[in-house]
Amino acid sequence: MKKFFIAPSILSADFARLGENIQEVLDAGADMIHFDVMDNHYVPNLTFGPMVLQSLRKYKISSPIDVHLMVNSVDSLIPVFAASGADFITFHPETSSNINETLNLIKKYGCKAGLAVNPDTSIDHLKRFFNKLDLILLMSVNPGFPGQKFIPSVLNKIYQLNQYIRNVFPNILLEVDGGININNFYDIAQAGANILVMGSAIFYAADYRKTIQFMKSKLSILC
């Protein structure tokens, strides 16, 4: 049975009451939290660091947290994010001088490891690392800012990657992030995504529970 996970991205949360707002979407049925880390170098935006993650754990946010590192020199940040409460740590291959060593480092610190792939990046040269992965994150927008539109060509990429990992590495979770909303989430899941990262589609909804339960009801058809 295929499992689906709704993962609100805190980029769209209310930072004046971050812990409370995240707990609200979890209570409404969200499964995990997506934590986007940007350094204003790898991507043209600056977000937050491990202290924010640590504060969420102190607030008693207990759901799985997927830390998506959009930063240069990822290795130095892995130990501190792991210590702050990350469950998954995902990075872009071009930010590591040695992808195998970075994946090993994530595992060493007790986290599940993921690779993130930008819309224009081929997955072919990354397949040799798949045996070490728990998660593959396909970006469906160019990383950096929330509120962008889903790039339609990524849908075929999701399908092709799902066909490959389903037959060869069935335990890898396939995550998609960027422009997912109430109108396209079903098509993205049907193409093969397990984890749907959604920001404004959830945090800007008038009723979190109604929105999440509607999506889960539709996704149950695919299970």
Q: Which residues share a beta bridge with 135?
A: 114, 173
What per-residue confidence (pLDDT) applies to 89?
98
Return d(Cα 214, Cα 173) in angstroms, integer.
22
What per-residue confidence (pLDDT) applies to 209?
98
Catalytic residue among 36, 39, 66, 134: 36
- Taking a C-beta distance cutoff of 8 angstroms, is the pair 97, 76 a contact? no
The angle, 0 to 180 degrees and rounded to 10, between the axes of the packed helices 18-27 and 50-58 is 60
14 catalytic residue (yes or no): no
What per-residue confidence (pLDDT) applies to 29?
97
Cβ neighbours for 88, distance < 8 A, ≥ 6 positions apart: 64, 65, 66, 67, 111, 112, 113, 114, 134, 135
| pLDDT single digits (tens) 105-115 | 999 999 999 99
Regions of the chain with pLDDT less than 50: none
Catalytic residue among 31, 75, 177, 187: 177
177 catalytic residue (yes or no): yes
